[in-house]
Structure 1
């Protein structure tokens, strides 16, 4: 039996920054893979 789409997305793990390990707060239409702190370090 197929899982409902809502249940599928509920079971996904939280997105985690690969640089520092901090969990990233998900936002609609966001494809970021690193947290704001690590991204700002790269810009400087």
Structure 2
């Protein structure tokens, strides 16, 4: 039986920051890989 698209996206694992391992708070239309903390360290 095929899974509905909504269930497919609900079951995807959370995105994790490759720098620190913290879960990334995703937002629509966002393709960022790092968390806000690691991104702010890079801009310094």
Instruction: Compute the TM-score of the two structures, normalised by the length of structure 2.
Output: 0.90
Runs ≥4 residues deviating over 2 A: none
Gaps of 5+ in 1: none
| 1: CA distance, partners of 2:30 / 2:37 | 16
User: Which structure is higher in helix share?
Assistant: 1
Two-structure CA RMSD over aligned residues (Å): 0.7
Gaps of 5+ in 2: none
Aligned residues: 44
> CA shift at 1:3, angstroms?
1.4
TM-score using structure 1 length: 0.90
Q: In structure 1, what is the Cα distance between the partners aligned to 2:32 and 2:43?
A: 15
